[in-house]
Amino acid sequence: MTGALLVRSAEFVDATLFMGMHSADERIRRACKGFFVDRLATGVVMSLEQVGRCDDIVWSYPREVQDAYYPFMDNLHTDMAVARVGYTAEDLARALEAITLAHLPLAVRLTLGQAIGRGGTLFTVDTRYPVSAAVRGPEPVEVEPRFPDGLERLYRESLALRVDDVARGGW
């Protein structure tokens, strides 16, 4: 899905939420998985940079772990509408001009600026984001949600990859 298909008031996700489905912290893993299970039919928006951050994390693991992970990710990106969008000049200006974000890394500022500029909500488990109406975490879940059968099987195999410190987001 391209940025041209992006609608206002969308739900944006960052790499911590996406990679959170593979968090070593079971509470985070279940909540992030639940977020994506719940939005499988409706989709999400993700900046191209955040997509690249996910790949950067996965590529840091041994080849056999990557081979176990990528079939799930490939199928999820096919089965779920994920609008992958680049930053605009307005996103950059918003990120640089927002005084309340000045202490944050530029990537964090850009991601939040992109969501705010489009009237969206950013979903993340990154603890560096300021608490605001524009930033939310996934809802905690006790019982692990399930993807449809084929995707669930691939997800289970992809759990060969487990990410530590996903909520820190400083990869």
Would you list the domain boundaries of the chain? 7-163
Average pLDDT rounded to a whole number, residues 31-49:
96
Tell me the pairing of strands 11-13 and 82-85. unpaired
Instruction: Provide the percentage of residues in the chain whose pLDDT is more than 90.
Output: 74
Q: What is the pLDDT of residue 4?
A: 41
- Which 3 state secondary structure label does DSSP give 146? coil
Residue type, 74: D
Domain 7-163 belongs in CATH node 3.40.50.1010: yes
Whether residue 35 is predicted with pLDDT greater than 80 in this model: the reply is yes
Whether residue 1 is predicted with pLDDT greater than 80 in this model: the reply is no
Q: Tell me the C-alpha distance between 107 and 76, whole Å.
A: 24
